[in-house]
C-alpha cells in the first residue's frame, strides 16, 4: 500500500497539473484533490476483485463532485443531470477559447475534473497491480491529451513527461531495471516530442482535433438580420449558446431591437439616433416611459455575457433605462432604449450590466386603461405612408373602410381582409386591451393558425395579407407582424420587437441559444409604456400576467371583464375568448378521462406498447445491418466500392437527404459538406479510385474507401446529436429504396 501511494502521488499530481493548464482562472475548492484521492482509494484494497468493485462508487462520487448535482436540480434523477452537464461542458471546448476561466465555465471545469479522475484511476489500478506498461501509458496519455487542446512548445514539458514515466517504471520494477528504463525512455521520448510540438499535437496519436464538432477550432459566432423576412427560416441542428444572463428568476424577453416601421409589405428597423457616448449611466430620457420608470426600485438588473453573438446591438430586457459596460467603449444611444456598439460587433466574452423598467401588470390593471396617447406615438399608428386615427375616435371605422376604395391608398388594398378580421375581433371591446387580447388569442389559439418555418407561397399577395387571409401558416415573424399590423389598423400603437425568448434557467442565470431567437409584439399602455404580447403558438412560453399567453390568464372571466355581458349580438373577441375557455375545459376533461383509463390497467398496455416499439426498432436495425453486410459479401473491389457508396446513400436517406443515383463521388463530398459541414474528400477520392481507377489499385482503394466511410460517419453522427441519430436508426427510407 505504501509503495502504491509513493509511486502514484507524483505521477497523479503531474497529470492533474497538465489538465489544469487549460484553465486560466481556477475554480475555488478542493474538487481536483478529491478526484485524485477518489481515484486512488479503490487501488488501496487488498484484492483485485475488491479494487474493481470499489471503482463504480468512486466514479459516481467523482461525477457528483465534478458537476455538483444536488437534489434541487431542475432535472430529475442523478445520471441525466450529470450526462447533460458533461455534454454541455464537452461541447463548450469547441465554443470557448483556451485557456478558459473555470469560474465562468463551471461545466468545462467539471470535464477537467472527470478527466483527471479517469486517468488517475487507470494509473492507480495499474500501479496497484504492478503493471508498469499500463501505468506509463496512463501518464503519457493523461499528460499528453491536454496538450493537444492547448499546445506548448516547451521542450521542458517533454522532459518532465520522461522523468515522471521513468519514475513510475523505477518504482514498479525490482528486477531487470535497465532494459525497462531504456524501453520506457524510448516510448516516452517519442510521446513527449509529439505532445510538446503544436504541429504534431494537432494530428497526434489521440487525434482529439478530429473529434471536434466544429473543426475550425475558432469560437462559434451567430449573427442575425433583424428586419422582417417571411421567406422561411431554418435553425441549425446544433444549438449554440449566444448569451448568458444573470437576471430575475422569472423569465423576460431579451430585446435586441424594435421594428417600428411598416413599409407596405414588411416591418423594418427605423430608429432615431439620440446621442453617442460611453456605455455608462442613464440612457436618454424616453418621453414614452411613465413617471414610475424613474424610480430605481422598479428597475430589473441583468448581467449579460456575450458568448457567441456576432451583433452590434446591446441585448436587454423590456425597456432599458441604464447601462454599465466599460468593455463596450462608446455606444450609439437610439430611440426606444436601443443601444448599439460604436465600434461594430461586440467581442466574444464582453460583459455589461443593464437596468430595465419591466412592469408586470395583470389583466385587471390593463383592462381599464383608456386610449390616451401622447403625440410621440403618432409614428406607431402609421401603416406605410398612411396615418390611421386613434382607437375609440367616433367614425374611425368608416374612414378606414374608405381607404380601401381610394386609389391613393392602393398599396393598402391587399390588407382589407386583415382589417375586417381586426374589426371583428375588436367588436365590443371597452378598451384597447380587450382588442389586444382578442387578436393574440385568435392568432395563437382559436383562429386555426399553425407554426411552420417553411410557409406556403403567397401567390403574389403581401406576406402578412396572405398569412391572415389564406395561408394561416408561418413562424414568429408572421404572427408578430400580423398582430402589430392589425393593432395599428385599430388605432392602437404597436410595433414588432426582435431578440430572444428567456432561454433556459440554469446555474443561477439564463442560457440563451440561437434557437431562442424570436419576434413578438410590443403595445403601448398609458402608465406602463411598452408591454410584450406573444401571438406565436408554441414559442415564447413566458409566465407573465399581462397577456393571454400567461399561465394565469382566465379566458372566461376576461371575456366579461373586457367586453361586458352578452347582448345577443356577436361580440367578436369575446367569442374567441369563450372558444379558448371551452377548448381548455375539453382538454382538461380529456386529460382526466385519460388518467382514469390509465389507472384502470392502462399501465400494462403502456408497457406492452413499449416492448412492441423496442422490438420494432430492433427489427428495423437488424434488417439494415443484414442488408449492409450482404453487400460486402464479395471479393470484387468494384462491388465493394459500390457497397460503400450505397451505405452512405442509405445513411443520408434515413436523415431525409436524397442522393441521386447518378451522383459522383465529388458530388457526394459536396452534399455531405453542405449538410453537415463534414469533410468527405478522402472518402470521395478513395471511392473514385476504387470504382473508376486502374484494376491493379482497385482492391486497396476499396478497403481505404470503407475505412474512410467509417471515419466520416463517426464525424457526422457526432454532429447530428442523439435525437437525429435515433431518428435515422428507426427510419425505413433506406429499406424502401
Residue with cell 468512486: 58
**Contact status, residue 467 vs residue 498, Cβ threshold 8 Å:** no
What's the DSSP call for residue 415? G
Asked if omega into 99 is within 30° of 0 (cis), the reply is: yes
Q: Is 39 left (phi over 0), alpha (psi -120 to 50) or beta?
A: alpha
Residue with cell 427510419: 731
**Contact status, residue 14 vs residue 164, Cβ threshold 8 Å:** yes
Residue with cell 471536434: 212
Q: Give me the pLDDT at residue 480, please.
A: 96
Helices (H), 68-103: 79-92
H or E stretch at 727: helix 698-730
Q: How many CB atoms lie within 10 A of CB 343?
A: 11
What's the DSSP call for residue 545? S
* Residues of the chain under the 70 pLDDT cut: 25-29, 69-78, 92, 94-97, 104, 151-156, 173-221, 539-574, 577-609, 736-737
Helices (H), 68-131: 79-92, 106-128
Give the residue among 549, 260, 206, 225 at the shortest CA–CA distance from 376. 260
3-state secondary structure 551-569: CCCCHHHHHHHHHCCCCCC
Cβ-proximal residues to 33 (8 Å cutoff; 6+ apart), any chain: none
For the four alpha carbons of 103, 105, 107 and 108, in that order, the dihedral sign comes to negative
**Contact status, residue 442 vs residue 583, Cβ threshold 8 Å:** no
Q: How far apart are the first and last CA of the chain?
A: 63
Beta strands in 438-547 (DSSP E): 450-451, 473-474, 494-500, 504-506, 509-513, 517-525, 529-533
- Cβ neighbourhood burial of 575 (10 Å; 0-12, 13-18, 19+): buried
Give the residue among 239, 702, 729, 210 at the shortest CA–CA distance from 512. 239
H or E stretch at 148: helix 132-149
CA separation for the pair 318, 300 (Å, rounded): 9
**Contact status, residue 340 vs residue 332, Cβ threshold 8 Å:** yes
Q: Give me the pLDDT at residue 555, please.
A: 58
pTM for the full predicted model: 0.54
SS3 343: coil
Query: Domain boundaries in the chain?
Result: 2-211, 220-564, 632-736
- Cβ neighbourhood burial of 211 (10 Å; 0-12, 13-18, 19+): middle
Give the residue among 322, 101, 95 at the shortest CA–CA distance from 218. 95
Q: Give me the pLDDT at residue 199, please.
A: 36
Cβ-proximal residues to 391 (8 Å cutoff; 6+ apart), any chain: 371, 432, 435, 490, 491, 492
CA separation for the pair 689, 685 (Å, rounded): 6
**Contact status, residue 284 vs residue 275, Cβ threshold 8 Å:** yes
Q: Give me the pLDDT at residue 268, please.
A: 93
Cell of 508: 443561477
**Contact status, residue 524 vs residue 361, Cβ threshold 8 Å:** no
Cβ-proximal residues to 219 (8 Å cutoff; 6+ apart), any chain: 95, 96, 97, 308, 348
CA separation for the pair 216, 1 (Å, rounded): 47
Q: Give me the pLDDT at residue 491, please.
A: 97
CA separation for the pair 300, 279 (Å, rounded): 18
Amino acid at each position: 500500500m505504501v509503495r502504491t501511494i509513493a509511486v502514484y502521488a507524483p505521477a497523479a499530481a503531474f497529470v492533474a497539473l497538465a489538465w489544469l493548464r487549460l484553465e486560466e482562472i481556477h475554480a475555488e475548492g478542493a474538487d481536483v484533490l478529491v478526484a485524485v484521492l477518489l481515484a486512488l482509494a479503490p487501488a488501496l484494497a487488498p484484492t483485485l476483485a475488491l479494487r474493481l468493485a470499489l471503482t463504480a462508487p468512486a466514479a459516481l462520487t467523482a461525477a457528483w463532485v465534478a458537476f455538483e448535482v444536488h437534489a434541487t436540480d431542475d432535472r430529475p434523477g442523478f445520471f441525466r443531470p450529470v450526462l447533460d452537464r458533461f455534454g454541455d461542458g464537452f461541447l463548450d471546448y469547441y465554443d470557448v477559447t483556451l485557456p478558459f476561466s473555470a469560474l465562468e465555465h463551471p461545466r468545462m471545469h467539471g470535464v477537467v475534473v472527470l478527466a483527471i479522475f479517469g486517468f488517475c484511476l487507470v494509473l492507480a489500478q495499474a500501479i496497484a497491480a504492478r503493471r508498469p506498461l499500463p501505468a506509463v501509458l496512463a501518464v503519457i496519455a493523461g499528460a499528453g491529451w491536454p496538450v493537444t487542446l492547448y499546445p506548448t512548445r516547451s521542450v521542458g514539458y517533454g522532459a518532465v513527461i520522461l522523468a515522471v514515466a521513468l519514475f513510475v517504471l523505477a518504482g514498479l520494477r525490482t528486477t531487470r531495471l535497465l532494459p525497462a528504463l531504456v524501453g520506457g525512455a524510448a516510448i516516452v521520448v517519442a510521446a513527449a516530442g509529439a505532445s510538446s510540438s503544436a504541429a504534431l499535437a494537432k494530428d497526434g496519436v489521440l487525434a482529439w482535433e478530429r473529434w471536434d464538432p466544429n473543426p475550425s477550432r475558432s469560437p462559434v459566432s451567430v449573427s442575425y438580420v433583424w428586419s422582417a423576412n417571411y421567406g422561411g427560416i431554418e435553425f441549425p441542428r446544433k444549438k449554440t449558446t449566444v448569451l448568458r444572463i444573470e437576471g430575475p428568476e422569472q423569465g423576460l424577453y431579451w430585446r435586441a431591437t424594435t421594428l417600428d416601421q411598416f413599409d407596405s409589405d414588411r416591418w423594418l428597423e427605423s430608429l432615431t439616433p439620440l446621442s453617442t457616448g460611453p456605455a455608462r449611466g442613464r440612457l436618454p430620457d424616453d418621453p414614452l416611459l411613465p413617471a414610475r420608470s424613474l424610480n430605481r426600485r422598479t428597475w430589473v438588473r441583468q448581467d449579460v455575457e456575450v458568448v457567441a453573438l456576432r451583433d452590434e446591438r446591446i441585448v436587454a430586457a423590456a425597456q432599458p433605462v441604464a447601462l454599465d459596460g466599460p468593455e463596450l467603449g462608446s455606444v450609439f444611444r437610439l430611440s426606444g432604449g436601443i443601444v448599439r456598439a460604436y465600434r461594430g460587433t461586440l467581442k466574444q466574452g464582453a460583459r455589461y450590466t443593464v437596468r430595465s423598467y419591466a412592469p408586470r401588470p395583470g389583466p385587471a390593471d390593463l383592462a381599464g386603461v383608456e386610449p390616451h396617447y401622447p403625440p410621440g406615438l403618432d409614428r406607431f399608428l402609421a401603416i406605410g405612408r398612411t396615418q390611421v386615427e386613434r382607437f375609440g375616435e367616433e367614425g374611425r371605422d368608416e374612414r378606414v373602410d374608405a381607404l380601401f376604395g381610394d386609389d391613393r391608398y392602393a398599396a393598402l388594398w391587399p390588407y382589407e381582409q386583415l382589417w375586417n378580421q381586426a374589426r371583428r375581433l375588436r367588436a365590443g371591446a371597452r378598451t384597447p386591451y380587450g382588442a389586444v387580447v382578442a387578436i393574440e388569442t385568435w392568432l395563437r389559439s382559436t383562429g386555426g393558425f399553425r407554426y411552420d418555418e417553411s410557409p406556403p407561397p403567397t401567390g403574389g399577395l403581401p406576406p402578412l395579407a396572405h398569412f391572415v387571409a389564406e395561408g394561416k401558416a408561418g413562424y414568429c415573424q408572421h404572427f408578430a407582424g400580423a398582430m402589430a399590423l392589425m393593432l395599428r389598423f385599430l388605432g392602437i400603437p404597436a410595433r414588432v420587437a426582435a431578440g430572444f425568448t428567456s432561454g433556459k434557467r440554469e446555474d443561477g442565470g439564463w442560457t440563451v441559444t440561437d434557437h431562442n431567437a424570436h419576434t413578438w409584439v410590443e403595445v403601448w399602455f398609458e402608465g406602463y409604456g411598452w408591454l410584450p404580447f406573444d401571438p406565436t403558438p408554441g414559442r415564447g412560453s413566458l409566465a407573465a400576467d399581462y397577456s393571454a399567453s400567461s399561465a394565469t390568464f382566465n379566458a372566461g372571466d376576461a371575456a366579461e371583464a373586457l367586453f361586458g355581458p352578452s347582448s345577443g349580438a356577436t361580440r367578436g373577441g369575446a367569442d374567441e375568448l369563450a372558444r379558448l375557455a371551452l377548448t381548455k375545459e375539453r382538454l382538461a376533461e380529456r386529460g382526466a378521462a385519460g388518467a382514469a383509463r390509465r389507472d384502470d390497467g392502462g399501465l400494462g398496455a403502456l408497457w406492452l406498447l413499449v416492448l412492441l416499439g423496442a422490438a420494432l426498432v430492433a427489427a428495423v436495425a437488424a434488417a439494415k445491418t443484414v442488408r449492409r453486410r450482404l453487400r460486402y459479401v464479395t471479393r470484387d473491389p468494384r462491388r465493394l466500392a459500390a457497397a460503400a457508396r450505397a451505405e452512405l446513400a442509405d445513411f443520408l436517406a434515413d436523415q431525409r437527404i436524397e442522393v441521386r443515383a447518378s451522383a459522383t463521388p465529388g458530388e457526394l463530398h459536396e452534399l455531405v459538406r453542405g449538410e453537415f459541414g463534414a469533410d468527405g474528400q478522402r472518402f470521395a477520392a478513395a471511392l473514385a479510385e476504387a470504382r473508376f481507377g486502374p484494376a491493379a489499385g482497385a482492391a486497396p482503394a476499396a478497403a481505404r474507401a470503407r475505412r474512410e466511410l467509417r471515419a466520416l460517419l463517426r464525424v457526422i453522427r457526432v454532429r447530428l446529436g442523439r435525437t437525429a441519430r435515433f431518428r435515422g436508426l428507426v427510419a425505413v427510407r433506406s429499406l424502401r429504396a
